[in-house]
Chain A
């Protein structure tokens, strides 16, 4: 009886992981397809579609745009989140609870609503659909995340350390730069790379806020509209690969910190 239960559990696990990973495996597998269509039977492996993808100026431009938007929006979200967290942790702010809630609120709002809201706002302000607009959109979704991570890491035990630095002549910006930020380095790193992964494959906001220059997910969607091609698989595999790298970096930092403390 127990053996049946055990094999059932194993079968269930296989089905579950298969459900999660099979599409990705199929996507990656058929990116190495040698023929024109990403459907069985598999002919290959061949790198011709990778060559095609990296030879496509629109796709490589979109890839560059995506990296730029991800890096810029994540950097900005970390800096702003850090300063907001420092303010709430170190100063008495009137209505701090409500303000913190408002700052974290975008976490619970759908990207579609945020994207539409920004679209209407930018229209009103005369900000054109652009990479700048989507960068701002990604700051909106990543700032609450960075704030939450950093605020949770700012403890009372750092207050005296900052006091000591001030006592020794450090100005406010020097305290932030030389003392507070280095002490929170793992949290800053985690916030940055988590934001990178979210920004990297975000579609809805990027779709709504860009027109000519666009990010990779939007460009892939454009490709898909003209039918299936192993080229889409190839570029999709690249997107997946970058996400994996970011996730591994993040995990390495978080795990390293756990083993240290």
Chain B
């Protein structure tokens, strides 16, 4: 892999006595779409502001394109930021907004207006150039903010919850546009959000943050199906969490004993350690087959809810210590409340979690 474009090296930040970021390390690759995902107060926006140069971290360093930018002001970094409220200049036309950065660079009016029009064409707003921001819809303002930031040809584009103010339908549409735009311009995007669906739809790499730390990272598939921590397992959607004790510890495999029996998992843990394992509801099956060869025992159906494209089912395992588990099963599944069912899964569907 090539040299990373942006590096966050052991960064901590305090607001007064509150630790907002605790020893965060992060590498962002050239041309990638990275999403910082976390609940409010997780430190994701603070991290973005530090990358953009709006905050100087209490400790640690920031490298962008090989240079130490820790103390550089925003304008002297190869980054631009798209703010949550768009922060458009209300008294300027759309074209003047987009051209503002070039104007500050001292580029002549004719030239910068031409460049602004090209940029507006890229985001599909070339007909709106003479309007004022307040005459545009939310989605259009969003695109003006993108054009205004991208005209500076940054190496990294920072986006602070850019879709947060849009309604759900428009948000999904803008997600697609954002992804297409990123592929087209090839700039590395770092995008902050608290919406895990948005993160999964956009990201090449998801960084899950909680309490000022990075608690998980990887492709959306990795983070979804093999979360590293309890927090990311729960935050990335519904999950069944089981307590377990490590029975045997191998080189990169462990045997964990749980209420569903002994489970072989990849991962590292010491024998005797108390840990958690997680399995997604859609990975629990009522029939064996398609690799779902691990029999987890019998259970009784407690509740079935029709959800359109699938059925949500909760079941209670039988035994001395019953467990309540969530399943997502096909709509054709006919098991009724009170019926006894068998539970199966693939051994690789379990993920070993750390706190």
Contacts and interface: CB of A to CB of B under 8 A. Distances in A.
Contacts of B308: none
Given A163-B83, A164-B81, A164-B83, A169 B89 contact: no
A182 B91 contact: yes
B320 interface: no
Contacts of A161: 87-90
B89 A165 contact: yes
B59 interface: no
Contact of A160 (B83, B148, B149): B83
Contact of B80 (A160, A168, A170, A183): A168
Interface in B74-90: 74-75, 79-81, 83-85, 87-90
B91 A185 contact: yes
Interface stretch (B99-107, B178-186, B331-339): B99-107
A169 B105 contact: yes
A72 interface: no
B54 interface: yes
A172 B89 CA distance: 16
A168 B90 contact: no
Indicate the member of A160, A163, A169 with the most B CB atoms within 10 Å.
A169
Interface in A150-195: 157, 160-161, 163-170, 174, 178-179, 182-183, 185
A167 B52 contact: yes
Contacts of B90: 161, 183
B73 interface: yes
A64 to B, nearest CB: 34
Contacts of A164: 81, 83, 87-89, 148
| A interface, over-half SS | helix
Nearest to B83: A160
B87 A168 contact: no
B100 A165 contact: yes
Interface residues of A, number: 17
B74 A183 contact: no
B74 A160 contact: no
Indicate the member of A164, A165, A169, A182 with the most B CB atoms within 10 Å.
A164
B143 to A, nearest CB: 15
Contacts, number: 58
Contacts of A174: 104
Nearest to A162: B87
A183 to B, nearest CB: 6
B65 interface: no
B152 interface: yes
B75 A179 contact: no
B87 A166 contact: no
A167 B91 contact: no
A166 B91 contact: no
A144 B148 CA distance: 38
Contacts of B80: 167-168
Nearest to B106: A169
Contacts of B91: 182-183, 185
Nearest to A157: B85
A162 to B, nearest CB: 8
B142 to A, nearest CB: 14
B100 A168 contact: yes
A168 B148 contact: yes
B85 A168 contact: no
Nearest to B90: A183
B89 A166 contact: no
A170 B53 CA distance: 14
Contacts of B100: 165, 168, 170, 178
Contact of B104 (A169, A182, A183, A185): A169
Contacts of B79: 167
B88 A170 contact: no
B111 to A, nearest CB: 16
A160 B89 contact: no
B30 to A, nearest CB: 21
Nearest to B52: A167
B85 A169 contact: no
A167 B156 CA distance: 13
Indicate the member of A157, A166, A182, A185 with the most B CB atoms within 10 Å.
A166
B191 to A, nearest CB: 16
Given A163-B83, A164-B87, 9 more contacts: A161-B88, A163-B74, A164-B148, A168-B75, A168-B148, A169-B105, A170-B104, A183-B89, A185-B91
18 contacts: A160-B87, A161-B88, A163-B54, A165-B100, A166-B74, A167-B53, A167-B74, A167-B75, A167-B81, A167-B149, A168-B75, A168-B100, A169-B152, A170-B75, A170-B100, A170-B104, A182-B89, A182-B91
Which 3 residue pairs of A and B lie closest in terms of their CB atoms, listed nearest first? A169-B104, A168-B101, A160-B87
